[in-house]
Amino acid sequence: MERQSGKSMRPERPSLPCALACALAIGGLDPGGGAGILADLRAFAAAGAFGCAAVTLTTAQSTAGLKSVRYVRSREVTLQAEEVLQSQRVRAVKVGALGSRENVRAVARLLLRHAAIPVVVDTPMRPTRGRARLLADDALATVRRELLPRATLVTVNLLEAQALVGAKVRTLGEAHDAARLLCDTGARAALIKGGHMTGRDAIDVLAMDGEVIELRASRLTIGPTHGTGCTFASLIAGRLAVRTRPRRVHRDDLVAAIRWAKRVHHAALARTVDVGRGMRVMVF
């Protein structure tokens, strides 16, 4: 019988860089894993960033829908995020569901203290399925007044854009106008997602530096899918984390990160998976 050498038969792991950039998600916990900070962490990993998270709210939720929400106290949210920001190499922040007005205000102040770090704001208000609120009614004005001015990029769907600008957003032209209005709040750039519009192409509208860019992808015919908005914003943030340094993000860096994220997101949408009852989810 031939002896095996003493050399390990385990497959070699690919070498990693000595230092990894971190991306921090500040948002809600979805126990089902399809959305919220668990989806954020998968997207960060797909972009090559080390994912970190601060929890703003907990939910009773699955792919079947959202049953209930419980907000975390703003002091706890700040403590969680500040510890990571002080000790780890955070190169980008993604802001998701915040819940209460106090959490919105606390996160805005936190981001002001770390103003050199790029921030992608994607703050959902209502779930795809379920009636519980991911953003309190009295928090919307605080988002507009205090949080959006901290954003390198704000990403919203049509309904969220309507709520933030106070006008109907249904057509491509209205999306152009709304994206500009969101930039007027102080956000560096605003992207209105075109998934809920009609037409052969899904067209996202990006406003930045006085210009509007249309980003097109062929529209896919897919069933209800969980966490698409969370994932797209987090792909952008993760890409910014590994491709930029703590400084004002150059316009070309931001556009390149968005284009990369849109390609990866579109490919993931084309291969969503079934993990149980209800909506499908995105994987990488």
> Which residue type is seen at 243?
R
- Residue 173 sits at φ, ψ, to 5 deg, of -65, -40
The stretch 45-73 carries a mean pLDDT of: 97
Mean pLDDT, the chain, whole residue set: 91
17 assigned to some structural domain: no
CA 259 – CA 85 distance, rounded (Å): 27
5 assigned to some structural domain: no
135 assigned to some structural domain: yes
Q: What one-character-per-residue DSSP string does 65-95 give?
A: EEEEEEEPPHHHHHHHHHHHHHHS-EEEEEE
Q: Which residues are annotated as catalytic?
A: 193, 225, 227-230
- The C-alpha angle with vertex 17 and arms to 16 and 23, in degrees rounded to 5, equals 95
pLDDT value at residue 3: 45
Range(s) of the domain holding residue 56? 22-281
2 assigned to some structural domain: no
CA 209 – CA 189 distance, rounded (Å): 7
pLDDT value at residue 2: 40
Domains in the chain, number: 1
233 assigned to some structural domain: yes
Q: Which residues contact 218 (CB under 8 A, 6 or more apart)?
A: 200, 201, 202
CA-to-CA separations, 203 to 61, 222, 234, in angstroms, rounded = 30, 16, 19
pLDDT tens for residues 244-256? 776 678 999 999 9
Given pLDDT bands bounded at 50, 70 and 90, which one contains residue 4? very low
8 assigned to some structural domain: no
N-to-C CA span, the chain: 43
pLDDT value at residue 5: 46
**pTM, two decimal places:** 0.91
Q: Give SS3 for 122.
A: coil
pLDDT tens for residues 85-130? 999 999 999 999 999 999 999 999 999 999 999 999 998 987 766 6
Q: CATH no. for residue 275?
A: 3.40.1190.20
Q: What is the largest CA-CA distance in the chain?
A: 79
Beta strands in the chain (DSSP E): 22-29, 50-62, 65-71, 90-95, 119-121, 153-156, 189-192, 201-208, 211-218, 225-226, 280-281
13 assigned to some structural domain: no
12 assigned to some structural domain: no
